[in-house]
């Protein structure tokens, strides 16, 4: 046996963390040195960020300290920002130095896709990190407070959500649930508040949701005070509001952009072949140009059995992270793994408090049942990364 292999994992999101935990558990002593590079010293529960953004949950509940999950003797944690990948040189440049690797697992995640719409980058807010959702949370409250000192500015009470996919819809539901409390807090008449969901497609919620569930979801959200504009897109965003494709201008102090993501730009900048920032990988999740590089999560473009790419979800990222780790281990041990296959456990979208819709085990579920299933799935994930103590701390003993 030669020198230990140098394995570098970029990003401690769903994919990167899953890979790190798998390697930590399965690598034989001395077989490899694993370095996990992450911008923050915590793992973000990205699927919970819409709650922190709306203010229905404390931002700290949407993150977990990496030190709690990683064994520092088996996995080296480097808090650094990745600046550049140089795959032909097998190295990664960070703001804390250069890392060389034999194997790379890149779980660099996604970034908002603005589609070149003027003004979005400058004036819209996005649900993508602890910092960005804290800004949204504070921005919403700031608008209510500003309205109270300028009561003619009804635009301060208008909240536009661009995109009614998973994140946009879940956020709109949470915000509608939070609004009565915020209105009490700021002495604002709740009937003056508008939450507008703008969706370019013909229906809200993720594609593939059965029609009756979509109808159910829209009814629930409309009853909470969310208004939908379908087959309508945002053409321009200004400090005063948004211009829509049908010519309407909605004066709004808050615009949340949740209408799409693209792969992390670092990958295309490094010369990987990408489509909207996502790297097309081989059936074993390896770059076709650099076989020692695995791409997992939102940055990986993997075609499903139907020939369409898998969506960028946490569930898929976790499975890819684990697969990449297993595949890497197999290579180290001279074995080969069958290609990656996504095991779809179900999809549930929450619609605010105690209300959700989804398909689990092939069956449509709604209401409290769907909501509880989602909670259980979340708890299950927390259990896999941090065991019972983490589950308890993020559920029973959560921060309020």
Joined together, the tokens standing for residue 72 give 């520092």
Q: Which residues are catalytic?
A: 170
Joined together, the tokens standing for residue 357 give 């819709």
- Contacts with a copy of itself: how many residues (CB under 8 A)? 17
Question: Which span (31-39, 125-133, 325-333, 362-370) binds a copy of itself, by CB under 8 A?
Answer: 125-133
Q: Is the Cβ of residue 137 or residue 229 nearer to a copy of itself in the bound state?
A: 137
Q: Is the Cβ of residue 127 or residue 285 nearer to a copy of itself in the bound state?
A: 127
| Cβ 398 to a copy of itself shortest distance, Å | 16
| Cβ 123 to a copy of itself shortest distance, Å | 13
Q: Is the Cβ of residue 146 or residue 276 nearer to a copy of itself in the bound state?
A: 146
Residue of the chain from 46, 94, 130, 313 that contacts a copy of itself (CB under 8 A):
130
131-190 residues in contact with a copy of itself (CB under 8 A) are 131-132, 134-135, 137-139, 141-142, 144-146, 148-149, 186-187
Joined together, the tokens standing for residue 387 give 């065991």
Q: Is the Cβ of residue 26 or residue 141 nearer to a copy of itself in the bound state?
A: 141
Q: Which helix (H) or strand (E) holds 91?
A: strand 91-94
**E-strand stretches of 142-291:** 158-162, 194-198, 226-229, 234-238, 241-244, 249-251, 254-257, 261-263, 274-275, 278-280
| Cβ 293 to a copy of itself shortest distance, Å | 30
User: Sign of torsion, CA 371 177 217 131?
Assistant: negative
Q: Is the Cβ of residue 74 or residue 146 nearer to a copy of itself in the bound state?
A: 146
Q: In whole angstroms, how far apart are CA 386 and each of 21, 64, 361, 380?
A: 10, 9, 25, 10
d(CA 163, CA 110): 16
Q: DSSP states of 313-350 as a string?
A: -HHHHHHHHHHHHHHHHHHHTT---PPP-----EEEEE
d(CA 94, CA 81): 5
61 binds a copy of itself (CB under 8 A): no
Q: Is the Cβ of residue 6 or residue 141 nearer to a copy of itself in the bound state?
A: 141
| Cβ 131 to a copy of itself shortest distance, Å | 4
d(CA 198, CA 347): 22
| Cβ 124 to a copy of itself shortest distance, Å | 13
Strand partners, 295: 106
Q: DSSP states of 188-207 as a string?
A: --GGG-EEEEE-SSSSSS-T
Relative to beta strand 42-44, strand 63-65 is antiparallel
| Cβ 145 to a copy of itself shortest distance, Å | 4
Joined together, the tokens standing for residue 204 give 């809200």
List residues near a copy of itself by CB under 8 A.
Answer: 130-132, 134-135, 137-139, 141-142, 144-146, 148-149, 186-187
């Amino acid at each position: 046996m030669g020198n230990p292999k140098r394995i570098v994992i970029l990003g401690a999101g769903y994919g990167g963390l899953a890979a790190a935990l798998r390697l930590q558990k399965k690598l034989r002593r001395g077989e490899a040195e694993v370095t996990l590079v992450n911008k923050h010293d915590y793992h973000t529960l990205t699927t919970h960020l819409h709650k922190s953004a709306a203010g229905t949950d404390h931002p700290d509940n949407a993150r977990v300290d990496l030190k709690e999950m990683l064994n520092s003797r088996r996995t080296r944690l480097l808090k650094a920002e990745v600046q550049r990948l140089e795959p032909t040189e097998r190295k990664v440049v960070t703001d804390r130095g250069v890392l060389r690797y034999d194997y790379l697992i890149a779980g660099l995640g996604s970034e908002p896709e603005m589609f070149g719409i003027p003004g979005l980058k400058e004036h819209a807010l996005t649900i993508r990190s602890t910092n960005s959702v804290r800004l949204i949370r504070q921005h919403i409250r700031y608008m209510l407070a500003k309205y109270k000192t300028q009561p003619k500015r009804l635009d301060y009470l208008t909240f536009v959500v661009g995109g009614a996919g998973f994140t946009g819809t879940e956020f709109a539901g949470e915000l509608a649930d939070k609004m009565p409390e915020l209105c009490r807090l700021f002495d604002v008449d709740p009937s003056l508040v508008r939450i507008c969901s703008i969706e370019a497609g013909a229906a809200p919620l993720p594609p593939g949701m059965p029609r009756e569930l979509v109808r159910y979801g829209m009814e629930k959200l409309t009853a909470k005070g969310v208004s939908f504009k379908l087959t309508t897109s945002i053409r321009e965003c200004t400090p005063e509001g948004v211009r829509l494709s049908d010519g309407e201008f909605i004066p709004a102090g808050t615009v949340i952009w949740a209408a799409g993501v693209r792969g992390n730009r670092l990958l295309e900048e490094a010369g990987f072949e990408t489509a909207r920032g996502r790297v097309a990988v081989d059936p074993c999740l390896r770059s076709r140009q650099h076989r020692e590089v695995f791409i997992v999560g939102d940055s990986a473009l993997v075609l499903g059995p139907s020939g369409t790419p898998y969506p960028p979800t946490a569930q898929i990222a976790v499975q890819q992270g684990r697969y990449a780790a297993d595949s890497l281990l197999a290579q180290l041990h001279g074995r080969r793994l069958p290609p990656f296959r996504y095991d779809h456990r179900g999809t549930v979208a929450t619609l605010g408090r105690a209300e959700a819709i989804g398909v689990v085990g092939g069956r449509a579920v709604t209401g409290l049942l769907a909501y509880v299933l989602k909670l259980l799935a979340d708890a299950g994930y927390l259990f896999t990364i941090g065991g019972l103590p983490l589950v308890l701390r993020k559920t029973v003993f959560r921060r309020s």
